[in-house]
Structure 1
Amino acid sequence: MKERPGERLSAAIRAAAAQGEPAIIAFMTAGYPLREQFREQLAAIGEAADVVEIGVPFTDPMADGVTIQRSSQGALRQGVSLAWILAELRTMTRPRAPLVLMSYLNPLLAFGFEPLARAAAEAGVSGFIVPDLPYDEGEELRAALATQGLALVQMVTPVTTPERLAKVCAASEGFVYAVTMTGTTGRNAASLPDLARYLGRVRAAARTPVCAGFGIRRREQVVALRGQADGVIVGSALVELLERGEDPVRWLQGLRGRPAD
């Protein structure tokens, strides 16, 4: 019997949040900085994070800041593609944390939604985030993913209207990705009072866990989100750390306030 779409993602986030801390959703661009390090990096991050978000490189990542744009271009230069990522995932030992692929729409269209759903399920993927696909245009992809029990995670922002917020949250599977700013990724997040009000609105509308993303870099930001978000998404800071060749496990454990093993 197939799981409901997003069930594994929701369960992992709720299990972490039940311990009194937001879950850690860690973003990495597949194949960056070096393609041959992908399996090793994913194995390490997948043991330290609660969910791993794997970025599919794209030529025009319009929702991303400078760091992730740079990582996307670097991965593309090494021949990293959606097909390559799925092939790597299919043949490697799967990490403890569930995996979600973040991709712009064009690579998914080129692959074909139904073949994509089958290949992703075979590779152990739990869901997708598609930042340039509005929720009300995503039914074809959502239906294809649902045949394999895969989630289509939806994104909201501080300027999402109340009416649209309710609809997007109702459609989201696995978790709701609550963008904490209106610009691109990696910049400073909203002020804490504004952030608290915004996340309160999202949580009131959501039926799945709510995870806050964009701008998370420090332990104190994670602490400030206790009780306000079920999870935090860390992206640009982790990509920069991998660029420098530093230990992602130590840094992720530091976000949790834990010493490295």
Structure 2
Amino acid sequence: MSHARRTAGAAIDDASAQGRRALVIYLPVGYPDVDTSIEAARTAVAAGADIIELGLPYSDPGMDGPLVAAAAQQALDGGVRIADVMRAVEEVAATGAAVLVMTYYNPVLRYGVERFAREIAEAGGAGLITPDLIPDEAGEWIAAADAHGLDKVFLVAPSSTSERLELTAHASRGFVYAASTMGVTGVRAAIGAHAEALVSRTRAAGAERVCVGIGVSDAQQAAEVAGYADGVIVGSAAVRALGSAAGAEGLDALRTLVEDLADGVRQGTVAS
């Protein structure tokens, strides 16, 4: 079952070698159903996404805005399980994209940290993004991730202290996820004004790669973020596009959005 795994770092570095930043697309597994969510992720890769974040739906999503929370609830109502997430990882990783699972930590703890890490690796996944887990409380996950060569993506925010940035930069592998603004995810009219400063502070703290998420929803915003970050993360807008119509029309809307975002990322990339 094991594939040649593509790490998030390799995907970002490959994009950089092509003179552009990486495009990261988030989609929850099981929305609107498991098979369609897998097809959606594969569609996003074909349209230009370098990294796919597959969301593990969770009943108490502290960081998710209304669009993502509603999609996750629909997935939970549909009976989505961790086994479905592992199948999604395997099928999406087969495209050659780097595939990360974005999950709150409680489901990982309940499932078994070592078991979760092993199954992600066996499915060809790159690793985890853990929005509610801080490195100083992540010893068990860090050990399991290191044992299986998995990416460990931790988050920083504009409020993060220099000490916190340094701790997170050194604990992360793949990239550091810079939340552009305080608060929950969602589509916003403007990216947080602190995002660019946060990226430079996180790099100064030792981070090799920093990707920015929360609020990016169109090509213009993607271009703006690509001017200073290593990767541009889009979630709510992708979920909105997929949910805008049923079946093939929703997939078409997602494809169009991702193609536009990929164009935006290319336009905004500053020669490094």
TM-score by length of 1: 0.90
Residue 238 of structure 1 and its aligned partner are, at CA, apart by: 0.2
Match of 1:3 in 2: none
The more displaced of 71-80 and 196-205 is: 196-205
Aligned positions, number: 252
Unmatched runs of 5 consecutive residues or more in structure 1: 1-5
Paired letter, 2:173: E
Match of 1:256 in 2: 262
Q: 1:225 aligns to what SS in structure 2?
A: helix
Residue 216 of structure 1 and its aligned partner are, at CA, apart by: 0.4
The more displaced of 7-16 and 123-132 is: 7-16
Match of 1:165 in 2: 165
Match of 2:79 in 1: 79
- Structural mapping, 1:29-44, within 5 Å: 29-44=28-43
C-alpha separation between the residues in 2 aligned to 1:92 and 1:134? Answer: 27
Call closer, same or farther: CA 1:226–1:89 in 2, change over 3 Å.
closer
Call closer, same or farther: CA 1:231–1:58 in 2, change over 3 Å.
same
**Counterpart contact for 1:22–1:222, Cα < 8 Å:** no
Residue 36 of structure 1 and its aligned partner are, at CA, apart by: 2.8
Call closer, same or farther: CA 1:110–1:21 in 2, change over 3 Å.
same
Q: 1:178 aligns to what SS in structure 2?
A: strand
- Structural mapping, 1:138-177, within 5 Å: 138-177=138-177
Residue 22 of structure 1 and its aligned partner are, at CA, apart by: 2.2
Unmatched runs of 5 consecutive residues or more in structure 2: 245-249, 265-272
Call closer, same or farther: CA 1:210–1:92 in 2, change over 3 Å.
closer
Residue 50 of structure 1 and its aligned partner are, at CA, apart by: 0.5
Paired letter, 1:196: E
Residue 246 of structure 1 and its aligned partner are, at CA, apart by: 4.5
Call closer, same or farther: CA 1:91–1:217 in 2, change over 3 Å.
closer
Q: 2:39 aligns to what SS in structure 1?
A: helix
Identity score, percent: 38
C-alpha separation between the residues in 2 aligned to 1:232 and 1:206? Answer: 19
Q: Does 1:10 align with 2:4?
A: no
- Structural mapping, 1:118-157, within 5 Å: 118-157=118-157
Paired letter, 2:260: G
- Structural mapping, 1:79-98, within 5 Å: 79-90=79-90, 94-98=94-98
C-alpha separation between the residues in 1 aligned to 2:89 and 2:144? Answer: 20
**Counterpart contact for 2:196–2:229, Cα < 8 Å:** no
Residue 253 of structure 1 and its aligned partner are, at CA, apart by: 1.4
Paired letter, 1:148: H
Call closer, same or farther: CA 1:34–1:139 in 2, change over 3 Å.
same
Match of 2:178 in 1: 178
- Structural mapping, 1:31-70, within 5 Å: 31-47=30-46, 48-70=48-70
Call closer, same or farther: CA 1:221–1:142 in 2, change over 3 Å.
same
Paired letter, 1:110: R
Call closer, same or farther: CA 1:51–1:113 in 2, change over 3 Å.
same
C-alpha separation between the residues in 2 aligned to 1:46 and 1:191? Answer: 27
Residue 7 of structure 1 and its aligned partner are, at CA, apart by: 7.5
Q: 1:128 aligns to what SS in structure 2?
A: strand
**Counterpart contact for 2:29–2:84, Cα < 8 Å:** no
